[in-house]
Structures are given as structure tokens and as C-alpha cells.
Amino acid sequence: MLPSLFISHGSPMLALEPGESGPALRALADALPRPEAILVVSAHWESDRLLLTGNAHPETWHDFHGFPAPLYAVQYPAPGAPERARNIARLLTDAGLPADVDPQRPFDHGAWVPLSLMYPAADIPVLQLSLPSRLGPTYQTRVGRALADLRRQGILLIGSGSITHNLGELDWRAGPEVVAPWAKAFRDWMVDRLEANDEAALHDYRRQAPDAIRNHPRDEHLLPLYFARGAGERFQSVHQGFTLGALGMDIYRFD
């Protein structure tokens, strides 16, 4: 059975400058059975309710500005899976989590950037599930649990966000050896609570974790972690690291 994954996708430039995350993502993909399909919850598709991509041929959306021209030439032409999307929408709805299908939504960079490093052939069907971010961690845990059995059907479940995400405090000149103490303390607290399977503390992280608001002024980039954890069980840290001083690049799996 496939695990569920949490991937810190970093800057969109990860697609061209993969650093240490690129080899870690590719090694992880190589170690897994080949998925029948991939379902991604990305921090970059916030919504009021659950929606699934229903496009048979989703476009690659360069949903960012101010980056080098070569990044805008990157394409990830993976097929969609409209019928799977409809089935998953019904599964969520039956679990008391109403969901619908968006027939036009493209792939945002929270999906295609990490997938371009894991499965560069872009030959596995990909779906995205939106993030009702206002509903918080507990809701995302419920969504993950409702979809956990998809792992038995060969569907790889991925939450794509960032273990820390305060763009206003990044040091754009910092090398990989520079790590802000407040960012490391938060990451270490999260790992400790994940290892302890302390769901109550994890759901209450904004009050209990050190410098929680500083690390996540808004929590849309952490919420995909709760989806991944809800869909899996046993926690394992696959890769840890920081870039730009305070942007966490951790990768976790839940078996």
C-alpha cells in the first residue's frame, strides 16, 4: 500500500534548482510502487468548499510573478482523471464532506513543481483537491481519513505546502547552512508531536508550538500536512532542511 506524503515545495524555482530536495524527492518516488494516480492537496488552491480537478488535460499554471523566464517555459503535461475525480467527490460527500468537480482548474505550482522532480515523465494521472483553509487542521485531518483507503487502490496522496512559511522573514542571500532559530524550534516541535502522534497538540499548534504565528502568519501552507497525516498512520521523516534561512523544506511520509 502506498503511503501518504507531506512535501514542502519551497520556491517555484525548485523546479530548476532542486538543491537537496530534488534528489530526496526522486529517491522517494523510486522507492515507492508506481502509482495508478496521484492526488495532491496544494496550499495554492484555497477554496470555501472541497473541489477536485475534473479536466482530462489540465494546463500547467505558472501562478507566480517575477521569476526567470526559463521557469515559465516548464510544462508538466500529466493527464487528469475526470472519472476518478467524480468518484472521489462522491466518496467525500458520503463521508459528510461535500465535494464537487471543477472542470477547468489547471495544475498550480504546489502540484507540478514537486511532481516534476518525482515523476518527470508526467505520465501518471494527477488530480488536485482544493484546500478549504478557513476550516483549519481538524477538517483537513477528516479529509485525509475519508480518503485513506485510496492508498489501497494505488493512489498516492500528497499534501504540498511548507513546514515553515513566513516569506516576509526570508534571507534571500542565506546559504543552506543558515537556519533561523525560531524556524528550527517550530519545525522540531512539529516533528516531536508527529512522532508522539499527539493529535490534540498538533490541532492546537497555533497556541502550543513555539513561534507558531511567526512561522505561519496564515496556515494554508501547513494545512496539507494534516491531510497527509489523516490519510496515513506511522510518521517518518524522509528529508529535513531549510533554504533562505527560514523556509522549511521537510518531506514526511505516513505509512
Q: How far apart are CA 224 and CA 162, in angstroms?
A: 8
Separation of alpha carbons 49 and 234, rounded Å:
28
Contact 31, 132 (CB under 8 A): no
Distance, in Å, from the CA atom of 140 to the CA atom of 71, rounded to the nearest integer, reads 31
The answer to whether the Cα torsion of 99, 101, 105, 110 is positive or negative is positive
pLDDT at 175: 83
Q: Which amino acid is at 253?
A: R
pLDDT (0 to 100) of residue 177: 87
Q: Are 34 and 124 in contact (CB under 8 A)?
A: yes
Instruction: Report d(CA 102, CA 85) in Å as an integer.
Output: 9
Q: Dihedrals φ, ψ of 162, to 5°?
A: -165, 135
| Distance in angstroms (rounded) separating the CA atoms of residues 27 and 230 | 24
Q: Are 82 and 101 in contact (CB under 8 A)?
A: yes
CA distance 55 to 227: 23
Taking the model in full, what pTM does it have?
0.97
pLDDT for position 83: 98
64 grid coordinates: 507566480
Question: Is the predicted pLDDT of residue 245 greater than 90, yes or no?
Answer: yes
The tens digit of pLDDT for each residue in 48-96 reads 999 999 999 999 999 999 999 999 999 999 999 999 999 999 999 999 9
**Which whole number is the average pLDDT over 225-252?**
97
Specify the pLDDT at position 162: 98
Q: How does strand 50-53 pair with strand 99-102?
A: parallel
Helix, strand, coil abundance in the chain, percent, nearest 5: 40, 20, 40
pLDDT value at 155 more than 90: yes
How much is the pLDDT for 75?
Answer: 98
Residue 172 is predicted with a pLDDT of 87
201 pLDDT higher than 90: yes
Rounded distance, CA 68 to CA 75, Å? 15
Confidence of residue 137 (pLDDT cuts 50, 70, 90): very high
Q: If residue 156 lies in a helix (H) or strand (E), which one and from where to where?
A: strand 155-161
Cβ distance 246 to 170 under 8 Å?
Answer: yes
